[in-house]
Amino acid sequence: MAAQPTHPLRRARVWLAGLALAPLLIVAAFLLLAWIGAALPRNPGWSEPERGITIMVETNGVHTGIVMPVVSRVKDWRTTFPSAGEPRPLDGQLPTHIAIGWGEKEVFLNTPTWGDLKLSTAARIVLHGGEGLMRVGHYVQPLPSDHHRPVTLRPAEYARLVERIEAALPALPALPPGAERRTYPSYELGARNYDARGRYTLTNTCNQWVGDVLAYAGMRMGVWTPLAGGVMRWVEEPEPGAPVPR
Protein backbone atom coordinates (compact mmCIF):
# COMPACT_ATOMS: atom_id res chain seq x y z
CA MET A 1 0.00 0.00 0.00
CA ALA A 2 1.45 3.38 -0.98
CA ALA A 3 2.39 5.79 1.84
CA GLN A 4 0.02 8.66 2.32
CA PRO A 5 1.55 12.08 1.60
CA THR A 6 2.14 14.30 4.60
CA HIS A 7 -0.49 16.99 4.93
CA PRO A 8 0.95 20.49 4.31
CA LEU A 9 -0.47 21.76 7.61
CA ARG A 10 1.22 18.95 9.50
CA ARG A 11 4.55 19.72 7.82
CA ALA A 12 4.16 23.37 8.78
CA ARG A 13 3.53 22.41 12.41
CA VAL A 14 6.66 20.26 12.43
CA TRP A 15 8.75 23.12 11.03
CA LEU A 16 7.32 25.59 13.56
CA ALA A 17 8.03 23.19 16.42
CA GLY A 18 11.60 22.83 15.19
CA LEU A 19 12.04 26.58 14.98
CA ALA A 20 10.68 26.98 18.51
CA LEU A 21 13.04 24.33 19.88
CA ALA A 22 16.13 25.59 18.06
CA PRO A 23 16.95 28.44 20.53
CA LEU A 24 16.52 26.09 23.48
CA LEU A 25 18.82 23.53 21.88
CA ILE A 26 21.42 26.22 21.17
CA VAL A 27 21.30 27.45 24.79
CA ALA A 28 21.51 23.88 26.09
CA ALA A 29 24.51 23.17 23.84
CA PHE A 30 26.22 26.39 24.97
CA LEU A 31 25.73 25.54 28.66
CA LEU A 32 26.98 21.99 28.16
CA LEU A 33 30.08 23.13 26.31
CA ALA A 34 30.71 25.84 28.91
CA TRP A 35 30.50 23.22 31.69
CA ILE A 36 32.90 20.91 29.86
CA GLY A 37 35.32 23.72 28.96
CA ALA A 38 35.40 25.06 32.49
CA ALA A 39 36.10 21.59 33.90
CA LEU A 40 39.22 21.08 31.74
CA PRO A 41 42.15 22.75 33.54
CA ARG A 42 44.97 24.87 32.27
CA ASN A 43 48.11 24.85 34.45
CA PRO A 44 46.93 21.71 36.29
CA GLY A 45 50.13 21.47 38.34
CA TRP A 46 49.86 24.98 39.84
CA SER A 47 49.79 25.35 43.62
CA GLU A 48 49.18 28.49 45.63
CA PRO A 49 52.29 29.75 47.46
CA GLU A 50 52.27 30.60 51.14
CA ARG A 51 53.76 34.03 50.47
CA GLY A 52 53.49 36.46 47.63
CA ILE A 53 51.06 39.09 46.42
CA THR A 54 47.43 38.49 47.29
CA ILE A 55 44.71 39.32 44.81
CA MET A 56 40.99 38.55 44.86
CA VAL A 57 38.73 37.07 42.25
CA GLU A 58 35.31 38.69 42.60
CA THR A 59 31.90 37.83 41.23
CA ASN A 60 28.32 39.07 41.37
CA GLY A 61 27.07 35.77 40.00
CA VAL A 62 27.15 36.92 36.38
CA HIS A 63 30.33 38.94 35.97
CA THR A 64 33.81 38.31 37.39
CA GLY A 65 36.75 40.61 38.01
CA ILE A 66 40.24 40.74 39.48
CA VAL A 67 40.96 42.78 42.63
CA MET A 68 44.55 43.88 43.21
CA PRO A 69 46.42 46.18 45.61
CA VAL A 70 46.89 49.66 44.20
CA VAL A 71 50.57 49.53 45.15
CA SER A 72 52.77 46.45 45.48
CA ARG A 73 56.44 45.70 45.02
CA VAL A 74 55.66 44.66 41.44
CA LYS A 75 53.22 47.32 40.23
CA ASP A 76 51.87 50.76 41.09
CA TRP A 77 48.52 50.91 39.30
CA ARG A 78 48.32 54.69 39.72
CA THR A 79 50.69 54.98 36.77
CA THR A 80 48.23 53.13 34.55
CA PHE A 81 44.91 54.22 36.03
CA PRO A 82 45.16 57.74 37.50
CA SER A 83 41.79 57.26 39.20
CA ALA A 84 43.45 54.69 41.49
CA GLY A 85 45.38 57.51 43.15
CA GLU A 86 42.41 59.85 43.64
CA PRO A 87 40.08 60.05 46.66
CA ARG A 88 36.86 58.15 46.13
CA PRO A 89 33.85 60.44 45.47
CA LEU A 90 31.74 58.42 47.91
CA ASP A 91 33.79 58.89 51.07
CA GLY A 92 36.98 60.77 50.17
CA GLN A 93 39.19 57.79 51.06
CA LEU A 94 42.12 56.79 48.90
CA PRO A 95 41.64 53.34 47.33
CA THR A 96 43.79 50.50 48.63
CA HIS A 97 42.69 48.11 45.86
CA ILE A 98 41.38 48.29 42.32
CA ALA A 99 38.95 45.86 40.70
CA ILE A 100 39.52 45.18 37.01
CA GLY A 101 36.75 43.87 34.78
CA TRP A 102 36.48 43.67 31.01
CA GLY A 103 33.24 43.65 29.06
CA GLU A 104 31.10 44.96 26.22
CA LYS A 105 31.30 48.73 25.80
CA GLU A 106 27.62 49.49 25.18
CA VAL A 107 26.56 47.39 28.17
CA PHE A 108 29.13 48.95 30.50
CA LEU A 109 28.25 52.50 29.47
CA ASN A 110 24.50 52.43 28.91
CA THR A 111 23.03 49.53 30.88
CA PRO A 112 22.74 50.33 34.60
CA THR A 113 20.93 47.03 35.36
CA TRP A 114 20.12 43.83 33.46
CA GLY A 115 16.56 45.06 33.27
CA ASP A 116 17.80 47.98 31.15
CA LEU A 117 19.44 45.72 28.57
CA LYS A 118 17.85 46.44 25.20
CA LEU A 119 16.80 43.52 23.04
CA SER A 120 18.56 45.16 20.10
CA THR A 121 21.80 45.36 22.08
CA ALA A 122 21.57 41.73 23.16
CA ALA A 123 20.83 40.60 19.60
CA ARG A 124 23.78 42.59 18.23
CA ILE A 125 26.14 41.07 20.77
CA VAL A 126 24.91 37.54 20.01
CA LEU A 127 25.14 37.99 16.23
CA HIS A 128 28.07 40.35 15.82
CA GLY A 129 29.76 40.92 19.17
CA GLY A 130 30.80 44.32 20.48
CA GLU A 131 33.74 46.53 21.42
CA GLY A 132 35.63 45.86 24.63
CA LEU A 133 35.84 48.23 27.61
CA MET A 134 37.67 47.97 30.93
CA ARG A 135 35.95 48.89 34.18
CA VAL A 136 38.10 49.89 37.14
CA GLY A 137 36.51 49.85 40.58
CA HIS A 138 38.14 51.42 43.65
CA TYR A 139 37.98 49.62 47.00
CA VAL A 140 39.20 50.32 50.52
CA GLN A 141 40.42 47.16 52.30
CA PRO A 142 37.92 44.71 50.73
CA LEU A 143 36.97 41.82 52.98
CA PRO A 144 37.25 38.19 51.88
CA SER A 145 33.91 36.52 51.22
CA ASP A 146 32.34 33.99 48.90
CA HIS A 147 32.05 36.83 46.36
CA HIS A 148 35.61 38.09 46.95
CA ARG A 149 37.97 35.13 47.14
CA PRO A 150 41.65 35.77 47.92
CA VAL A 151 44.41 34.07 45.95
CA THR A 152 48.14 34.51 46.53
CA LEU A 153 50.45 34.70 43.52
CA ARG A 154 54.21 34.55 43.31
CA PRO A 155 55.78 37.89 42.28
CA ALA A 156 56.64 36.51 38.82
CA GLU A 157 53.06 35.28 38.40
CA TYR A 158 51.68 38.63 39.47
CA ALA A 159 54.00 40.35 36.99
CA ARG A 160 52.50 38.20 34.20
CA LEU A 161 49.01 39.11 35.44
CA VAL A 162 49.91 42.80 35.21
CA GLU A 163 51.42 42.27 31.75
CA ARG A 164 48.24 40.63 30.43
CA ILE A 165 45.95 43.31 31.87
CA GLU A 166 48.04 46.14 30.44
CA ALA A 167 48.12 44.37 27.06
CA ALA A 168 44.33 44.81 26.94
CA LEU A 169 44.73 48.59 27.02
CA PRO A 170 45.36 50.54 23.81
CA ALA A 171 48.78 52.12 23.58
CA LEU A 172 48.80 55.75 24.57
CA PRO A 173 49.35 58.05 21.60
CA ALA A 174 51.86 60.86 21.75
CA LEU A 175 50.24 63.23 24.21
CA PRO A 176 51.40 66.37 25.98
CA PRO A 177 53.00 65.92 29.41
CA GLY A 178 50.38 65.27 32.06
CA ALA A 179 47.83 63.89 29.61
CA GLU A 180 45.92 60.81 30.79
CA ARG A 181 43.95 57.95 29.32
CA ARG A 182 40.41 58.75 28.29
CA THR A 183 37.86 57.58 30.84
CA TYR A 184 34.09 57.26 30.90
CA PRO A 185 31.68 57.50 33.83
CA SER A 186 30.33 54.25 35.24
CA TYR A 187 26.95 53.29 36.67
CA GLU A 188 28.89 51.40 39.32
CA LEU A 189 29.48 53.86 42.15
CA GLY A 190 33.10 54.97 42.36
CA ALA A 191 34.21 53.13 39.20
CA ARG A 192 35.65 54.45 35.94
CA ASN A 193 35.65 52.93 32.45
CA TYR A 194 38.71 52.87 30.21
CA ASP A 195 39.03 52.04 26.52
CA ALA A 196 40.22 48.48 25.97
CA ARG A 197 41.29 46.17 23.20
CA GLY A 198 39.45 43.02 22.22
CA ARG A 199 36.00 42.14 20.96
CA TYR A 200 33.26 40.79 23.19
CA THR A 201 31.49 37.71 21.79
CA LEU A 202 29.65 34.71 23.19
CA THR A 203 32.92 32.79 23.10
CA ASN A 204 35.04 35.66 24.43
CA THR A 205 33.01 37.00 27.34
CA CYS A 206 33.95 39.05 30.38
CA ASN A 207 34.48 35.83 32.32
CA GLN A 208 36.57 34.24 29.59
CA TRP A 209 38.78 37.33 29.72
CA VAL A 210 39.26 36.93 33.48
CA GLY A 211 39.97 33.22 33.07
CA ASP A 212 42.53 33.93 30.35
CA VAL A 213 44.30 36.57 32.46
CA LEU A 214 44.52 34.28 35.50
CA ALA A 215 45.69 31.36 33.38
CA TYR A 216 48.33 33.53 31.71
CA ALA A 217 49.63 34.40 35.17
CA GLY A 218 50.00 30.67 35.82
CA MET A 219 46.95 29.89 37.95
CA ARG A 220 45.00 26.70 37.48
CA MET A 221 41.93 27.70 35.46
CA GLY A 222 39.41 26.19 33.06
CA VAL A 223 40.09 26.09 29.33
CA TRP A 224 36.85 27.88 28.45
CA THR A 225 35.09 29.96 31.12
CA PRO A 226 32.36 32.06 29.46
CA LEU A 227 30.25 31.97 32.64
CA ALA A 228 31.09 33.28 36.10
CA GLY A 229 30.76 29.85 37.70
CA GLY A 230 33.39 28.46 35.37
CA VAL A 231 35.93 30.93 36.79
CA MET A 232 34.93 30.71 40.44
CA ARG A 233 35.02 26.90 40.56
CA TRP A 234 38.83 27.18 40.47
CA VAL A 235 39.09 29.70 43.31
CA GLU A 236 38.62 28.37 46.83
CA GLU A 237 36.18 30.04 49.19
CA PRO A 238 37.95 31.82 52.06
CA GLU A 239 37.85 30.28 55.50
CA PRO A 240 35.81 32.12 58.15
CA GLY A 241 37.90 34.84 59.74
CA ALA A 242 40.41 34.94 56.88
CA PRO A 243 42.63 38.04 57.10
CA VAL A 244 42.17 41.01 54.79
CA PRO A 245 44.61 40.71 51.87
CA ARG A 246 47.48 43.18 51.83
Burial category of 121 from C-beta neighbours within 10 Å (exposed 0-12, middle 13-18, buried 19 and up): middle
Residue 31 confidence class, pLDDT cut points 50, 70, 90:
confident
- More confident site: 181 or 47: 47
Mean pLDDT in residue range 23-46: 89
* Beta-bridge mates of residue 53: 153
Q: What is the pLDDT of residues 75-119, one digit of tens each?
A: 999 999 989 999 998 889 999 999 999 999 988 888 877 677 787
Burial category of 230 from C-beta neighbours within 10 Å (exposed 0-12, middle 13-18, buried 19 and up): buried
For residue 89, the model assigns a pLDDT of 86
User: Would you list the domain boundaries of the chain?
Assistant: 14-42+51-173+180-232
> Which pTM was predicted?
0.86
Q: What is the pLDDT of residues 106-161, one digit of tens each?
A: 888 888 776 777 877 778 887 788 999 999 999 999 999 999 999 999 999 999 99
What are the backbone angles phi and psi of residue 122, rounded to the nearest 5°?
-60, -45
Residue 174, number of CB atoms within 10 A of its CB: 5
Taking CB atoms within 8 Å and a gap of at least 24, the contacts of 211-217 are 212/164, 213/66, 213/161, 213/164, 213/165, 214/57, 214/66, 214/161, 215/42, 215/43, 216/160, 216/161, 216/163, 216/164, 217/153, 217/157, 217/158, 217/160, 217/161, 217/164
For residue 167, the model assigns a pLDDT of 95
For residue 244, the model assigns a pLDDT of 55
For residue 113, the model assigns a pLDDT of 76
Among 151, 142, 124, 149, smallest CA distance to 64 is for 149
d(CA 235, CA 233): 6
Among 104, 83, 107, smallest CA distance to 95 is for 83
For residue 118, the model assigns a pLDDT of 80
Instruction: Check pLDDT > 70 for residue 174.
Output: no
For residue 172, the model assigns a pLDDT of 66
Instruction: Check pLDDT > 90 for residue 69.
Output: yes
Q: What is the pLDDT of residues 38-53, one digit of tens each?
A: 999 999 999 999 999 9
Percent of the chain with pLDDT over 90: 61
Mean pLDDT in residue range 164-181: 74
- More confident site: 24 or 195: 195
Residue 4 confidence class, pLDDT cut points 50, 70, 90:
low
Q: What is the pLDDT of residues 190-203, one digit of tens each?
A: 899 999 999 999 89
